[in-house]
Amino acid sequence: MLTTADPTGEAILALLQEARANLDRIETLLRPDGNVEADDLDPKSPFNKTGVNLTPRGIEVAYRMFDAGRTRYAVKEALDISYGAATHRFHAWEKAGGKNRVRKPL
């Protein structure tokens, strides 16, 4: 717990760690198999975009959709981005190695 006797911020870090553990526990309850495949990526998740720009998670979602064989148009529609942005992400995906790239965690 946060106390006035701990001005160093260690208590805040402990609270953050506890909150992360609770969020991980809740996610495990919601997704018991822990399997995140292309169909489970939830392209419309608010965590995928900040304003009109894709977040690092949104970029990974786009890449995983390309891994699954989706077209640039399908990615455009699913992530609600422009066709030009989807094309840019497609070329970046190819440059990163395409299906052989190293996947990042969501």
More confident call, 32 vs 55? 55
pLDDT of residue 6: 59
Evaluate whether residue 66 is within a structural domain: yes
Nearest by Cα to 63 from 82, 88, 31: 88
What's the confidence (pLDDT) of residue 43? Answer: 86
Q: Are residues 13 and 58 in the same domain?
A: no
Cα distance between residue 88 and residue 29, in whole Å: 36
pLDDT tens per residue across span 46-57: 888 888 899 999
Domain of residue 24 covers 1-34
Co-location of 44 and 3 in the same domain: no
Comparing 97 with 27, which gets the higher pLDDT? 97
CA distance 25 to 4: 29
